[in-house]
Amino acid sequence: MISLQPKESILSSEALRPKGGCMGRPVRVLIIDDSAAALAAMKKALEASGFAVKTAKSIDEAVPAIGGAELIIVDFHMPGQDGGPGLPKLRSAADEAGNARAKFYLHTSDPIEGANYGKYGFDGLLLYKGNLPRLVAQMDAIRPK
């Protein structure tokens, strides 16, 4: 059986090295997750790695915040509206905000939902939800150059 529990409990200094985005400015990220604790931890880890981060606790809360975000991290399981079914609403809001180039990433530790990220229309998948060093590494890998 594969364990999806994080093995690392602290962020390494390598994972936290500052990096700029396009033309040296921070890459703008919007994280959508119903857990305040998860949002705070992800925001802290990504900001320490050089990202500019906004957060939202629901699809509806994310709609007005989506303008300018380059990378949008969406939790799948949320009360009210899950991330997959809510993606069309988010894409529409991004388009209306003149942000059609935004990339949407499903963030989950659910292997079944993760395997279906393309079916829902996500641009990519961030695995191992709850593992901050892995999140930072995955975000570094997709950071626009």
Chain mean pLDDT for the chain: 83
Residue 13: pLDDT band (50, 70, 90) is very low
Question: Does the 22-142 domain belong in CATH 3.20.20.10?
Answer: no
**Residues 94 and 66 sit within 8 Å (Cβ to Cβ):** yes
Residue 77: which of 104, 110, 121, 126 has the closest Cα?
110
Whether 14 shows a pLDDT value over 90: the answer reads no
The model's pTM: 0.82
pLDDT for residue 37: 95
What values do phi and psi take at 113, rounded to 5? -65, -40
Instruction: Give first-to-last CA distance, the chain, whole Å.
Output: 37
Residue 77: which of 124, 125, 48, 34 has the closest Cα?
34
- 42 Cβ contact list (under 8 Å, min separation 6): 31, 33, 53, 55, 73, 132, 135
Question: Which tokens belong to 116?
Answer: 């279906």
pLDDT for residue 141: 93
Distance CA 72, CA 121 (A): 13
Domain spans, the chain:
22-142
Percent of the chain with pLDDT over 70: 83
Residue 11: pLDDT band (50, 70, 90) is very low
pLDDT digit string (tens) for 47-101? 999 999 999 999 999 999 999 999 999 998 777 777 777 889 999 999 999 988 9
pLDDT digit string (tens) for 18-44? 344 445 679 999 999 999 999 999 999
